[in-house]
Amino acid sequence: MRRASLLIVVIVMLVGLVAFLGSQVPPVGAARPYEGQTIRAVVNAEYVKYSLSLVEKDLYDKLGVKIETEVIPLDAFVSKTLLEFNSGSSPWDLVMFGPSNMPDYGRHFEPLEPWMQKLKLDFAVEDIVPVFAKVMLRYQGKLVSMPYDGDIHMMYWNKVAFERGRGGGVLQRLGLGRLGPQALRGGRLLQAIGQRVLVPLVAIALLLVRRAVF
């Protein structure tokens, strides 16, 4: 088996907690220096809310900060949160979002690096996969978010089967027999299959839907 491609998807969470930290750095070793402050977070699933609950006790014991987490279902999450941000106000300090939505969310976020320096915070940025840190956590060059988790999606193909098929099997029946080894190792095979197979299937599906409706 041969690995065909590696697609890395990361979900990032805005670390917009700077607002509640205040303008003064507390004395070193001060007990619960932010007593009475509350972080309001919004996430798209109950399991994410649960994961945040695991740090609630430590957060309060060390800093005096409480956390309140709201769950908005995934299907309504982006539209509802952006509606709040675009209106010029937001009830949340933390928001979970996908990096593909950075252009929509990024302009509303507070840059983190000035606060990291002022409050002497260590986010262990060097532990983050470099491409994530460079591409997925920044808006207009400014660090505005930190990763919550990440997924790796891999696809494999059977090289021997594809090579055998190229000699007179399935690829010929699909009209793809002219594709050489380079195409098999690249993305042209999938593109060609999509054009020859998926497009007709979509057309058939649309016809069936139309017949069912009309």
CB-side neighbour CA atoms (13 Å) of 156: 4
| Predicted confidence (pLDDT) at residue 17 exceeds the cutoff of 80 | no
Which token pair is 37?
């402050």
Query: How do residues 46-73 score in pLDDT, each as one tens digit?
Result: 999 999 999 999 989 998 999 999 999 9
Query: How do residues 152-177 score in pLDDT, each as one tens digit?
Result: 777 777 777 767 655 555 555 555 55
Query: How do residues 99-151 score in pLDDT, each as one tens digit?
Result: 888 999 999 998 999 988 998 888 888 888 887 787 788 899 898 998 887 77
How far is it, in rounded angstroms, from Cα 199 to Cα 185? 22
Q: 90 pLDDT band (50/70/90 cuts)?
A: confident
Beta bridge partners of 11: 149
Average pLDDT rounded to a whole number, residues 181-187: 51
Residues 34, 20: contact at Cβ < 8 Å? yes
What is the domain class of 2-152 according to CATH? alpha beta
Closest CA to 184 of 172, 195, 176, 194: 176
Tell how far CA 58 is from the center of its chain: 26
**Residue extents of the structural domains in the chain:** 2-152, 158-213
Q: Is 180 exposed, middle or buried (0-12, 13-18, 19+ CB in 10 A)?
A: exposed
- What's 27's DSSP letter? P
Helix (H) or strand (E) holding 38: strand 38-43
